[in-house]
Structure 1
Amino acid sequence: MNKSGISTVTQFVLLGFPGPWKMQIICFSMILLLYILTLTGNTAIICAVTWDHRLHTPMYMFLANFSFLEIWYVTCTVPSMLANFLSKTKTISFSGCFTQFYFFFSLGTTECFFLCVMAYDRYLAICRPLHYPSIMTGQLCAILVSLCWLTGFLGHSIPIFFISQLPFCGPNIIDHFLCDVDQLMALSCTHSPIIEHVIHSVSSLIIILTVLYILGSYTLVLKAVLQVPSSAGRQKAFSTCGSHLVVVSLFYGTIMVMYVSPTSGNSVAMHKIIIPIYTIVTPVLNPLIYSLRNRDIKFALHWVLCGMRIIQTS
């Protein structure tokens, strides 16, 4: 992958979470449980939206795609993390490290765009309810979903490609459980502040612009909800947006500390605490947040589970 004339590193060592073997097994078991719960919860939402025709609306189609995204977001990091707990060498190949790096950033960026699209959908549904069916058509829904995936995976491709072309001649030890930009740039034999500045600027710009858009959308939504005369109408409007706001708060609260705030250059130990929150904890909480506050999802999940039981017993 690296064409430099300097002898290059062929693999990296991910130190992960150092500690005695017993502690490694405990961490392995906890993260494996969270991973299984994430896969189960998000897959259940996808199945509920797919099989219940009453949920074939833009809001739930966005939610199904978001759940699909969450599955891949945890899968790009957690399996290698689990293998790292049980490995003595704790190595990852050069190409494997940059592949993980690319998917980690691309899926995170795609999630930012999906949260924006979901905020736009709620804005139209609450602030412009009469025009909502004519604006948020199936065609527009498909276009927005495609744009989220496309822009998310194109946004970081060029800077990450240039980072992968830098010479890495040792050391090859990364004090982390995944391949992140700061650790990789620190291991490069050539200091490239331009590339580092570009990728941090792109990340910060995406985070700031998307969070400002979401806050702006929900400010308009809140203003519209407060003008609803009936308390039942206000409660229904708040319930449809509350879940999304909780997910936005969990996700952006942690990534802004990591990549935007003045303390974003915190120690590796701090990174090891913050990154699992939005890469492991939030994906497992999202299905619970959306299903517990949504009667349609709970009914569809109940219908899906009952149907599966009938199939198994027949």
Structure 2
Amino acid sequence: MKLSIIVPVYNLEDYIAECLQSLADIQLSPDEYEVLVIDDGSTDGSESVINTLVHKYPQIQYFYQNNKGVGAARNLGIQHAKGDYLWFVDGDDFVYSDKVKQGLEEAFINDLDVLTFNFTPVNEKGLPQTWVSFNFKSSDRNIVSGSEFYYYNYAKSYLWLCFFKRRIFLQHNLTFQNSIKMQDGEIFPRIMIHCQSLKHFNERLIYYRYREQSAVNSKNENARAHFYFSMVIVADSLRMFQQQIDRNENILIYKALSLKRKQLNQMLFTNFILNKYSYVTNKKFITLLKKYELLPFMKITGFTIKMNLVFNIVRHIVNVNPIVGRHIYQLIFKK
């Protein structure tokens, strides 16, 4: 078995058929790859849609679990996977059926630990978008280590843009955290530190669907709060991981983790002042940030000169009194 494609699903009846059909149409024989669909306790018609395709295509397998989150679904998929390589595909995305075989051949020819590739962003209806400019940074060498790749691309930790040797997960007991968002950012450096050979395949293999009602921009405060909580957990998890590794032996990963943690700290700050949360929710955030030593916030960079100045003035106030600082910012900009 060459490839195991793991597809977590939760209430995706409007998208899962397109996803699975594109995977079923991959130009490999059914005995060369498998599609492991993990239903994370869907309450809509996802199961019925999936089973229609399961009965039609032998390479598609269906597994059900009570709702535990995408991390638990991926872990279950890894347990059942038999392929040399793993590919984590979200159930609302779909793939270039005619290009996957080429990418897989590239991975096997070079005996790679990881193969990365490109994507096409699409809207909810599946129409191509131009809202994102995305390119992996790389050195002049054709094949690099995972540590080097992560150093240049720590801000682009997307699992669905990679084929991973399954052996890496098994040998190093790598698993996903069960119930948090931002799973990719938490586990990506843990994979990369064990990757000896990585190559970028300069072709698009997948369509990434941008949905308006994602956790980060949801109108539901509980969903947005859960995303914020997840950012805190990921930031702390990366801090602990950084403390565990030998800086001298893994200098690139170590430096990249410092940059990634700074990025997350900046995201926590901007999310805190920009989003509208209830007073009770904000107090919970403040308690959480202090518990994990993420407050005071770090210096803000990367925006325009004007916005860097504004954000850092507000940051100084927030670091003294988070509620007052947030209120001042929202009054000035009428958020």
TM-score range (shorter-chain normalised) is: under 0.3
Larger fraction in helix = 1
1 or 2 for the larger relative contact order (CA 8 Å, sep ≥6)? 1
Larger fraction in strand = 2
Q: Scaled by the length of structure 1, what TM-score is found?
A: 0.28
